[in-house]
Structure formats: C-alpha cells, structure tokens
Structure 1
Amino acid sequence: MSIPKVAAIIVASGRGVRAGEHPEGAKQFRRIGGRPILAWTLERLLRHPKVGSVVLVANPDDAERTAATIAPFDDLGEVRVVDGGATRQASVRNGLLALSEYPVDTVLIHDAVRPFLSADLIDRVAAATGPDVGALPVVPVADTLKKGEDGHVIATVDRSGLYAAQTPQGFPYRAIMDAHEKAANRADVEFTDDASIAEWAGLAVAMVEGEPDNVKLTSARDLELADRRLKGESRMIDVRTGNGYDVHKLVDGDHVILCGVRIPHDQTLSGHSDADVGFHALTDALLATCGAGDIGDHFPPSDPQWKGAASHIFLTAARDIVAKKGGRIMNADISLICEAPKIAPHRGTMRKAIADCLAIDMERVSVKATTNETIGFVGRKEGIAAIATASVVYGETL
C-alpha cells in the first residue's frame, strides 16, 4: 500500500489585533519561550516524518520577519511562502493553489498561533483523512453554555454533542481545493473554518480526538501563559539522556565505515549491515530516551533485508521515532575506541553526517576517539567499539 503524500499549510497572515500592539509585530511573531510563536509551529510540522511539504501563507508586509523566522529551519526542508489574502478563507485558498504542482494526497491546514500541537495529534488527523473524508480535531465543551441578549441570560444551552474545533484540519487535497474554489464565488455564505467549507460542499468530516493543550493564542494573557509554560514556570521540561554501546569484530578487508564515513584501512568491520559501530551506538542511545527498545528490535540481524544495509537507515528511523514521541534532539556525542584507523582527519565529515541524519546543527554533535592502550580486544586490533550519548527534550520543546 502506498503512503499518502501529506502537505501542511500554515496560515500566518493575520494581524492578531486582540493581542495588542507590540514592537515584534503581528501576533505570530511575538516571542514565547525565546522564539516567535510561528517558529514553534513551523518546527513541529517540519520535523514530523509524515509531512513532506510545508506552505506558509504570510502577509507580504511581514516579508522580513517571515524570512528571519524560517531561516533557522533550512536544514529541515523547504518552506514555500505565499501571500495571504484579504480573509483567512482567501489565504487558505492561496496556500492550496500553491500546492497544485506537488503530488499531494492529504493537506493539513493549521493556524500559526497554535504552537502546542503534538506529533500524536498530527498522526491522528492524517490517519483519519481519506479520499472522501476530512478530519477535524475536537475537544468536548466542558463549560455550561448560556445564551444572552441585552446583557442578560435568556437560556441555558444543552452542551451534549457540542465540541470546540481545533487545527490542524485534514482534507483530501483535491476535494478541499474544489470546495474552496466554489466557496470563493459565494459572498453570501459565511465560513468560520475549513471544515465548515468542506461540510457546505458535501465532504464528510470525521471528528478525531483533539488536545486541551492545543490552544489558539489569542489574547496578550494567552501569550504570557504560553511564554511561562515554555520557560518551565508552570511545569518541568522533560529532559532525557540515553546511552548506547556497540562493538564489531575486525576482519581482513580494505575499509571501515564509521559514523557514516568510509575510511580506507587494511581491515574491515564484520556485521550483518555495514557494521557502523558509531551509528549503531547512537541509534540505541536515541531509542533509549523514549523506551523504544534497541536497534535489534527494529532491525533484527535475522532479517535478510538488512544484510549490508547502510546504517544511516537505522539512525534516521530512530530520529523519526523520537520525533513521533514528541522529542527534540538536543545533543549527540560518540566516542570511538580503536587503535586504528586515525579518526581525527575524518571527525568533521563524521559530525556533518550525523547532523544531517538527525536534522540538527553540527555544534550539537561531538565525535571523539581514543585508543585502548594496546589492552584487550581493541588493543589487539580485533575490533572497534563505540559509546554514544544522546540528549532529547520531550513535551515542552516543540
């Protein structure tokens, strides 16, 4: 079965007047936890393994701020920026049109000022979206609802069966594009979100479980609480450290592969895959941060499909597992233990290979090497070992 191609549209062209005037500009550029709100939202979608394309709908007056916000994420994938329209509906339509040249099955439409969406929520919405059905994350209405008139309560509204709608809202791309095209010609009909356009056009919309934390930041008070949350004033940030160890036997050969780099040598490492001890140890370290077992659980050596496989496959898979669990990789450190070959000439290339696999900056990657002072199997040049440590932040950092 083919995997649906998922794209995301982030709507970030509003002015956010209810949050008040601010030197940082529109609400989506206001800083919480040290970064613009839009940056938190962008990173969550860009890091999700199912999202292949991101379109950012922005106000052309914010071009400089938009470019500065996107720049730190260049390594995570392309963000296509298109101009917003006079209304949110027009802005979403512009974003949908920008995807017309991409092979997209599913599109997720998300508010820029909902920075606390989780990887699990993205998964639920994407999974519930099909060729003939959209998906809407909702949370049940908990408060008693009152109907008022002239400043007085005139009725209590039955809240059973009532839900508050959230984003991202998922749709089959062609169906929601057609719905928006039809809606653009109906000035007499008011739409409050994309799900209402889908309903009006006859597209079924399934409800999926939303998240109370996935709040839309509207007022200055909302921004203040979000800032305190990200700074850890309301709860602890979940920082986890994982360790990994691997060793492979040296046999006759003409090269070794260490941390993704092929190094000429008079021996080679023996293993079911390419026997890259550095990548194997780091894979285990990452999996350890979220209790996801070890490399053998996911890529058993008894499975012939992994024979001779490049170990960046394993490391990338561990990265995606961490991202799906809501983790952000902060640091990766590998110590290689061998008498030969010399590691120093290749350290920079190794660090870059690791950074590319993990989609993090090179300054967050360390590769070190030491000998075993001719002691033991390493000292006798019978094998090479690696120890890896990874630090990952879960939950609070998006």
Structure 2
Amino acid sequence: MPTCTALIVAAGRGLRFGGDLPKQYLHLAGQPILRRTVEAFLRHPAVTGVRVVIDPAFRDLYDKAVDGLDLPPPVTGGPTRQDSVLNGLEAMAGHAPDLVLIHDAARPLVDAQAISDVIAALETGPAAIAATPLADTLKRGTVEGAGIVSGGTVDRTALWRALTPQGFRFADILPAHRRAAGLNLTDDAAVAEEAGLAVTLVPCDQDNLKVTNQDDLARAEKLFLARLGDVRTGTGFDVHKFAPGDQVWLCGVSVPHDATLDGHSDADVALHALTDAILGAISAGDIGLHFPPSDPRWKGADSAQFLRHAADLVAEKGGVIAHVDITIICERPKVGPHRDAMVARVADILGLSPARVSVKATTTEGLGFTGRREGIAAQAAATVRLPLILE
C-alpha cells in the first residue's frame, strides 16, 4: 500500500468569518473545527500520516485543538495559501510519502468515501480532486451582489465546483508548486494544471462544505450531528472512604474539608463515576481496565486524565459527548458553593459547553455509610452520539 500523508492547510485568519479567532479554531459540536478535520484523516486506514500548516501566532490555539492527537510539529504557513502549501510540501520532502492529500482545515465534514475515492483515482492519474457538478442555473450580472442580469444564462454543462481533498503523487506536486511560486493560483489543482498534469474530477458528497461564515458553521453543525444517529447512554457509580486530610477532590475541584478521600489516584469519586459512564456508553469496559489501581503510574494521579482518555475514545469512534449528569452523595462537605466551579471544570476537561454538564448533590438523610459520614459516593450518566452503523 502506498504511503499517503494528508496536508491540512490551517494557516488562514478567516477574515471573512469575522470575530477574533480564525474559524478553524471555533467549535463544531463541542470540538474545534480543525480537530474535526484532522480526525477525519487520522481515522482513515489509507492515510499514513497527517501534517498541519498553521499561523504560528495561533500556536497556543493549535496545541489546545489537537491535544492528545498523534501529530508531528506543525509547519509554519506563508503569506498566501499557495505559499503555505509549498511550505508544507517542503517540510515533508525529507521523508516524502508516495501520495499527498491537500485539504482545507475549514472542511470538517469530509467523509471517508471522498478520501478513499481521491486516493483510488491516483492509481491511474497524477492528480485527482473532490468535486461536485454545478446544479444551479447560473446568471451573469452587471455587478457583484444585487445587479441586473446582463450576460444571460451561463451554460453549466461540464462545470464543477472544486473542493478538497485534492490528491497528488508527491513526486509530481512538489516540483509543480516550486515552479508555480508567485503565480497566485486559486488551488492546488490549478498548480497541477499549470505543470501539465492531468487532473481527475472525483464526485463527492455535497455536504463537504467549507465554513466561511456563521451560516456555514450552523449548517455544518446540523449536518455533523445528523450523521451521529446512534445515541447511547452509560452510567457509572463510585465510592471512596474518608481518610485523614484537609481537602477532597470533586469534579476536578479542591474542596476544603476535615478529611480527604482514600484512593490510589486523587480519589475524585465524581470524575471516576463519570469516566465509567462514558466508557459504558461506548462499551469500553471500566476505569479499572484502562487505569489499573495496581499500576504505580496512577498513584496520586489527577483523575482529569482518566476522563480525558474516555472522551478521546469517543472521539476516536467519530462520536461526540452530548451531555453528562453527575450526582454527588454525601452529608459533608457542602457541594452547592462549589457547583459552578465543578461544572466549569468538567466542561473544560471534556471540551463541552457548561450547558451540557450537570452537577447535583444529595444526602442519604443520615442513612448508610454516607449518612454516617464515612465517605462519599457518586453516580453519573453520560449521553454520547456515534455514527450510525447498522450491524
């Protein structure tokens, strides 16, 4: 099988979108658009590597967006998209793949079929691009925007919209880009054409849209969630007893108390229950399977890493966490004064809006071990959405 690297172009500032952040770092269904795009290629079995080209001014946003993904260091972009692509290709030249797929970071809805079809087309030609035939009637007007039809109807026969990914044999596209430097061509297919390479049009799903404005983002979110028709719920329950100390960890927040919780990690009973709930929703076992208490690596560990691991497993399946609900069961300490901080912390760990996180507390009216103030229990429920696969 040929080696194939996806080159994700994410160096633009998205001025047409507006706002303070480049659009690729805005969230789509709880995760940055860039992460959604990168994951689409990381999941594909024929893609052997992913490189991302960024504006270094936004390196902090990039690092947060791809946290936990197995990626090499990003490539510094140039003043134009064409320059950025060339920088990316040059960065790959030392360990050149057989094939390269060049893709816009702002196209997060690219599906596996489009990737497969572009790669397949490179078996018989040097270049291939995802494209859709024009379906709408075209009119030539007097001015941009609202104007008068002056040129009549444009014949749309044989007209296609060029999308991405655009795939090439690496040995052909790098020298083509080098020769085209400074020509200001509109896409990589135009670079290939300038070099005399035949470009194959590969029909793809119309949903492979490019997010350029707020309406596009809203549409992309609807389309993304519509793909996730397999809705699952998982539950978790955990208990930890008290031990001498002066604080307890609950939902990733340090709460002052006249005791601590006894456990191999930080004994965050709430995060442990929630981790099990998410793992249960995707049928991935329990927290002990992934982080055995017998392993010294987890002694005193921050339970946030357990929860992030569970969330990453959902993302690897192409899913999203839709909502989480935690109930902390204890007489003391009082949870109410810390509830907002707990919600914010869980939301931050999972990359969710706080509106998708619920933290509640209750007592057992003096009954049982929690009523006797011997420890704390927690139960949790998690709802996840996964791609619908009929089995």
Give the structure 1 partner of residue 81 of structure 2: 88
What are the ranges of 5 or more consecutive residues in structure 2 without an aligned counterpart?
A: 233-279, 299-307, 314-383
Distance in 2 between residues matched to 1:201 and 1:229, nearest whole Å? 37
Structure 2 counterpart of 1:177, from 165, 174, 177:
174
Classify the secondary structure of the residue corresponding to 2:57: helix
Listed one character per residue, the Cα deviations across residues 246-288 of structure 1 (whole Å, up to 9, x for unaligned) are xxxxxxxxxxxxxxxxxxxxxxxxxxxxxxxxxxxxxxxxxxx
Distance in 2 between residues matched to 1:108 and 1:363, nearest whole Å? 28
Contact 1:18 1:220 in 2 (8 A): no
Structure 1 counterpart of 2:207, from 190, 201, 213:
213
Contact 1:136 1:169 in 2 (8 A): yes
Contact 2:207 2:223 in 1 (8 A): no
Q: What do you get for the CA RMSD once the two structures are aligned?
A: 2.9
Q: TM-score, normalised by structure 1?
A: 0.59
Listed one character per residue, the Cα deviations across residues 176-211 of structure 1 (whole Å, up to 9, x for unaligned) are 001000001xx4x44110001101101111111111
Query: Does structure 1 residue 163 correspond to structure 2 residue 163?
Result: no
Classify the secondary structure of the residue corresponding to 2:8: strand
- Structure 1 residue 101: Cα displacement: 1.6
Give the structure 2 partner of residue 61 of structure 1: 57
Structure 2 counterpart of 1:141, from 115, 123, 134:
134
Classify the secondary structure of the residue corresponding to 1:109: strand
Structure 1 counterpart of 2:18, from 7, 12, 20:
20
Give the structure 2 partner of residue 9 of structure 1: 7
Runs of 4+ residues over 4 Å off in structure 1? 343-349, 362-365
Contact 1:6 1:52 in 2 (8 A): yes
Listed one character per residue, the Cα deviations across residues 125-146 of structure 1 (whole Å, up to 9, x for unaligned) are 1111147521111111011111
Structure 2 counterpart of 1:332, from 267, 275, 283:
283
Distance in 2 between residues matched to 1:110 and 1:45, nearest whole Å? 10
Contact 2:227 2:388 in 1 (8 A): no
Letter in 1 for 2:119: A
Cα distance, 1:364–1:20 mapped onto 2, change above 3 Å: closer
Contact 2:109 2:220 in 1 (8 A): no
- Identity %, equivalent residues: 38
Cα distance, 1:363–1:347 mapped onto 2, change above 3 Å: farther
Contact 1:55 1:98 in 2 (8 A): no
- Structure 1 residue 123: Cα displacement: 0.6
Give the structure 2 partner of residue 118 of structure 1: 111
Letter in 2 for 1:179: A
Distance in 2 between residues matched to 1:182 and 1:200, nearest whole Å? 9
Structure 1 counterpart of 2:196, from 196, 202, 205:
202
- Structure 1 residue 163: Cα displacement: 0.5
Distance in 1 between residues matched to 2:83 and 2:13, nearest whole Å? 15
Structure 2 counterpart of 1:193, from 166, 187, 191:
187
Cα distance, 1:102–1:346 mapped onto 2, change above 3 Å: same
Query: Does structure 1 residue 238 correspond to structure 2 residue 229?
Result: yes
- Map residues 330-369 of structure 1 onto 2, 5 A cutoff: 331-333=282-284, 361=309
Contact 1:8 1:110 in 2 (8 A): yes
Letter in 1 for 2:230: V
- Structure 1 residue 152: Cα displacement: 1.9
- Structure 1 residue 55: Cα displacement: 1.0
Give the structure 1 partner of residue 349 of structure 2: none
Contact 2:209 2:220 in 1 (8 A): no
Distance in 2 between residues matched to 1:171 and 1:199, nearest whole Å? 12
Give the structure 1 partner of residue 47 of structure 2: 51
Contact 2:128 2:199 in 1 (8 A): yes
- Structure 1 residue 225: Cα displacement: 2.2
Letter in 1 for 2:215: R
Number of equivalenced pairs: 255
Contact 1:130 1:171 in 2 (8 A): no
Structure 2 counterpart of 1:33, from 29, 41, 66:
29
Contact 1:139 1:211 in 2 (8 A): yes
Distance in 2 between residues matched to 1:177 and 1:211, nearest whole Å? 28
Cα distance, 1:45–1:395 mapped onto 2, change above 3 Å: farther
Distance in 2 between residues matched to 1:205 and 1:344, nearest whole Å? 47
